[in-house]
Amino acid sequence: MTETHPPTLGPARRPVLRDGVLQADLCIIGAGSGGLSVAAGAVQMGASVVLIEKHRMGGDCLNTGCVPSKALLAAAHAADVVRHAGRFGVNGHEPAVDFTRVHAHVHGVIAAIAPHDSVERFEGLGVTVIRAAARFTGPREVEADGKRIRARRFVVATGSSAALPPVPGLAETPHLTNESVFDLTDLPEHLIVLGGGPIGIEMAQAFRRLGASVTVLERASILPKDEPEAVAILRAALLREGIALQEGAQVAATRRAGNGVEVQFADGTTLIGTHLLVAAGRRPNTAGLGLEAAGVEVTPRGITVDAGLRSSNRHVFAIGDVAGGPQFTHVAGYHAGIVIRNALFGLPAKTDYAALPWVTYADPELAHVGLTEADARAPGHEVSILSQPLSGNDRAQAERATEGLIKVVLGRRGRILGATIVAPRAGEMIGTWGLAIQQKLKIGAIASSLAPYPTMSEISKRAAGGFYTPALFGPRTRALVGLIQRFLP
């Protein structure tokens, strides 16, 4: 999906065909989230733009990632509401899930958003769209669909694909990835999820709530990049729902087992399931791009770029997952803004991930921004921690959703370094802390803010206020108040 842009004020500049070569200011390879944002922004700022996409407009986010996964999670949430309505005095019962209709719901959401990312919309904006694979034939030229394209600047925005870990037999074992799991029209009887990162955890909970038995296999600990206290709360929630979590699982091999799959562990034990979902990392999409012909340095992590997202070829930029950095749709959108400033205006814009947020959209959601406590303490800096349980929040009590917390990491003099929230819609609340980090605010800015009551977002203000509690209610304050009261009329 792309950002919203203002309407074009006049006819856009178009690429020009000269001597059999299409000439443009900007050529973008990949029409996913980042590529579409660059294309829409650049053409409406007056640049001539060629956009090349070999597969589906909207890329992974629209078709096989953020959009369908959140649509599936919404269906799973609806089922869970019915299942546990009894805690509110409403007749709760085990829901009847029609998975064919769940599938239709997921793809209906994709279809509703697709026009925003369509060829028609972008050609209407003035972008020249070519539906084909692109390949560099030199430092300043690309070939696609038999056409030669020469541009002042190129942007590679080809994203990433699900990676298969080096497990013997996995490639030959029937398996699902994010590129195929949303095509299921029948609910799996027993889904085995290989990988305990955000994607694996989200899909595990979604399928469990829709009625499947689910086992998650993680070779280390689930969600290893998040605060351990936060992960512990989510882990307990998943276990209560009946998801089998096998952390520290050493998978030795996989194979087909009748109509299902079998996983063999290093200790010789086995696990049988009907379906296997692989959610164990991503690999950048760089194959077939001819990057060597363009003099673009690439590693298994992706295209090597500097802080301005420029590759070893100064005319070629890379954004999003293929640039080897954080793999989030919002990062691709952020990269798009950096590249537009660099490529169109020649400004020295650079990436800064100090306020990078991420969210695991489970229930409760786990949202984080900035540094974790471990990251903040690693350099040996002075660090203090503020924490509040969600159980102290009135809105959480009203909604019977009290399992959660907020944890804030502070540096010297109350400077905000990071924050984690575990709560329903935590992803909607973490932005306040991201803004605080980005603007280098101190904790007093949050403590003095006015939060509406009753909202779960009050937990942020309450946690911030805790920074001042020892001094505010300490003996010195009590003595000062007593003294002042003697002289007040």
Q: Is 140 left (phi over 0), alpha (psi -120 to 50) or beta?
A: alpha
- What pTM value is reported for the model? 0.94
In this structure, the number of other CB atoms found within 10 A of the CB of residue 345 comes to 10
Cβ 431 vs Cβ 446: under 8 Å: no
End-to-end alpha carbon distance in the chain:
64
Whether 357-472 and 181-280 are alike in CATH topology: the answer is: no
β 384-389/316-318 pair status: unpaired
Beta strands in 54-144 (DSSP E): 128-130, 134-138, 141-144
Spatial separation of the C-alpha atoms in residues 108 and 279, rounded to whole Å: 24
What DSSP designation does 11 have?
A: P
CATH tag for 16-57+118-161+283-345 (out of 3.40.50.2000, 3.50.50.60, 3.40.50.300, 3.40.30.10): 3.50.50.60
- pLDDT, tens digit only, all 489 positions of the chain: 545 455 445 567 899 889 999 999 999 999 999 999 999 999 999 999 999 999 999 999 999 999 999 999 999 999 999 999 999 999 999 999 999 999 999 999 999 999 999 999 999 999 999 999 999 999 999 999 999 999 999 999 999 999 999 999 999 999 999 999 999 999 999 999 999 999 999 999 999 999 999 999 999 999 999 999 999 999 999 999 999 999 999 999 999 999 999 999 999 999 999 999 999 999 999 999 999 999 999 999 999 999 999 999 999 999 999 999 999 999 999 999 999 999 999 999 999 999 999 999 999 999 999 999 999 999 887 899 999 999 999 999 999 999 999 999 999 999 999 999 999 999 999 999 999 999 999 999 999 999 999 999 999 999 999 998 887 777 887 788 778 888 888
Cβ 339 vs Cβ 322: under 8 Å: no
Structure tokens at 280: 């164990």
CATH architecture of 357-472: 2-Layer Sandwich (3.30)
What are the angstrom distances between the C-alpha of 461 and each of 62, 456, 464? 35, 10, 5
What are the angstrom distances between the C-alpha of 296 and each of 151, 318, 322? 16, 10, 12
Fold (CATH) for 181-280? FAD/NAD(P)-binding domain (3.50.50)
Q: What is the pLDDT of residue 10?
A: 59
Residue with tokens 């990949």: 30
What residues does 201 pair with on adjacent strands? none
Residues sharing a CB contact under 8 Å with residue 360, sequence separation 6 or more, in sequence order: 198, 201, 202, 223, 226, 234, 366, 367
Q: What is the pLDDT of residue 2?
A: 47
Q: What is the pLDDT of residue 286?
A: 98
Cβ 25 vs Cβ 46: under 8 Å: no
Phi, psi (degrees; rounded to nearest 5) at 217 = -110, 120
If we measure between CA atoms, which residue out of 59, 63, 62, 30 comes closest to residue 130?
Answer: 30
Q: What is the pLDDT of residue 8?
A: 45
